[in-house]
Amino acid sequence: MRQGKKFALFQKRSFMEQVKSKHMEVEMLVGYMRVSKSDGSQTTDLQRDALLAEGIDPKFIYEDLASSRRDDRPGLASCLKSLRDGDTLVVWKLDRLGRDLRELVNLVHDLTQRNIGFKVLSGHGASIDTTTANGKLVFGIFAALAEFERELIRERTMAGLASARARGRMGGRPRKLNQTKIELAATALANMETNVGELCKLLGVSRQTLYRHIAPNGDLRNDTKRLLS
């Protein structure tokens, strides 16, 4: 009799686990919306209505009241964390998700790696739906444009640096120690009576910066010699 009850209890638990497992495997639509200002001048009403019309449960809609340029977007972080295998992330417009095309491409690529779909409801990216073949094709074009944009920026940067070097200017931050200051510091350090603290104040640099260019005995570092040459 006891064995029968144990078997019945085992069957009941097994059935409940199967139901729970099937429930967890249900593919869900998860929405994300964002406005740039949190002072009440902008609202998410239009985005929310569009996401609800798509059939998204209000419990699975995440939001941020912050500019896309900010790194700390807790709503987006929670949204991405909640997504599971087979789910689809839905946004009203493409610019609600990322700050630039490259970030968007990287984000959607990560979603694809996790077997999560991505869908845009309106705007320029309305043809993007990575759960369909046509949508994947459109996103592939976006990815190619992002790569083209990245290469174009790199080429322009390199060309600008080459042009600056040709005119005697070097890229990067201005050096705190120019050639005149380095020569002055080297001469001063060669004198054992020089107060290093006072010298640093005079030159407007830290002791660490000074010794990065010149040894305590006044000799120039090899990197400094190459820089001056």
Q: Is the pTM of this model over 0.85?
A: no
- CA-wise closest residue to 194 among 204, 206, 186, 205: 186
pLDDT at 1 over 60: no
Q: How many domains does the structure of the chain reveal?
A: 2
| SS3 at position 182 | helix
Does residue 123 sit within a domain? yes
pLDDT tens digits, residue range 146-184?
676 677 777 777 777 777 777 766 555 656 778 888 888
Other Cβ atoms closer than 10 A to 99: 13
Domain match, 119 and 32 both: yes
Residue-level pLDDT at 24: 45
**Residue 115 structural domain:** 27-148
Residue type, 201: K
> Cα–Cα distance between 103 and 69 in angstroms, integer?
11
Residue among 14, 21, 36, 67 flagged as catalytic = 36
Domain match, 131 and 72 both: yes
Domain match, 194 and 123 both: no
Does residue 209 sit within a domain? yes
pLDDT at 69 over 90: no
Q: Indicate the angle between helix axes 179-189 and 196-203, nearest 10 degrees.
A: 170
Q: Could you tell me which residue, 45 or 176, shows the higher pLDDT? A: 45
Asked if 229 is an active-site residue, the reply is no
Domain match, 120 and 199 both: no
